């Protein structure tokens, strides 16, 4: 699916959007000390389907930018460039990777800027619902109009196969979860938890040495 959209992508426009965001978000906050972003995941594929914590992670932020688009419309590349610019300019950034493809990025959070920007498409699709929310539509701003219509039949077939395979994958995760629970039950029955309780204070004491 990405192939159809990448061929219709205007990368000059996409880069202009990136530079606009860098100026809009970082102006006045840069310093001369580069930083390293904190790399995380905000969700995963689970036995019950895709699950994420985007809403709770962004609940206290003043500004949220919802990136809309299609596969191959430059969403992850935009986030990678924003993350690199933040690190170069000493701006604290939390970098959230895609659980399906860890080489791809799905969200950035800038704690000091009280701002998040994230890929708001399936399976983590959300829409603005409060002040400070806004949409950045990469399909509308950086892609040849009519691309959806030109490849409608091919894209529909790909979506159908993708959905079927994701459902099958989820069923396998559910089966694996059931087997894992069975294995855990054997070890739980054989564990002396009184020993665990005795070890706990010792471990807490060791950890406090590093905290203090």
- What does the pLDDT look like over 87-136, one tens digit per residue? 999 999 999 999 989 999 999 999 999 999 999 999 999 999 999 999 99
Q: Please provide the distance, in angstroms rounded to a whole number, between the alpha carbons at the two ends of the chain.
A: 52
Tens digits of per-residue pLDDT, 168-193? 999 999 999 999 999 999 999 999 99
pLDDT score of 25 more than 80: yes
Instruction: Give the burial string for 96-123 (b: 16+ CB within 10 Å, else e).
Output: bbbbeeeeebbbbbbeebebbbbbbbee
C-alpha span between 99 and 105 (Å, rounded): 9
Closest to 80 measured CA to CA, from 10, 123, 140, 21: 21
Predicted local distance difference test score (pLDDT) of residue 118? 98
Q: Any idea where the domains of the chain sit in the sequence? A: 2-145, 151-211
Closest to 169 measured CA to CA, from 50, 16, 40: 50
Mean pLDDT in residue range 139-159: 95
C-alpha span between 154 and 165 (Å, rounded): 17
């Amino acid at each position: 699916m990405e192939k159809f959209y990448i061929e219709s992508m205007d990368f000059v426009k996409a880069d202009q959007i990136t530079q606009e965001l860098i100026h809009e978000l970082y102006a006045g906050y840069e310093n001369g000390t580069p930083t390293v972003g904190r790399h995380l995941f905000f969700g995963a594929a689970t036995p019950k389907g895709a699950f994420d914590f985007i809403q709770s992670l962004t609940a206290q932020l003043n500004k949220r930018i919802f990136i809309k688009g299609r596969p191959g419309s430059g969403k992850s590349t935009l986030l990678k460039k924003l993350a690199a610019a933040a690190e170069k300019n000493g701006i604290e950034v939390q970098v959230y990777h895609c659980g399906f493809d860890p080489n791809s990025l799905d969200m950035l959070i800038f704690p000091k800027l009280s701002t998040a920007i994230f890929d708001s498409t399936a399976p983590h699709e959300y829409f603005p619902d409060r002040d400070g929310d806004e949409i950045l539509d990469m399909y509308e701003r950086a892609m040849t109009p009519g691309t959806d219509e030109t490849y409608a039949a091919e894209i529909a077939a790909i979506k159908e196969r993708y959905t079927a395979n994701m459902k099958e994958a989820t069923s396998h995760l559910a089966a694996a979860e059931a087997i894992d629970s069975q294995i855990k039950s054997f070890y739980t029955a054989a564990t002396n938890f009184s020993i665990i309780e005795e070890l706990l204070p010792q471990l807490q004491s060791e950890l406090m040495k590093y905290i203090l």
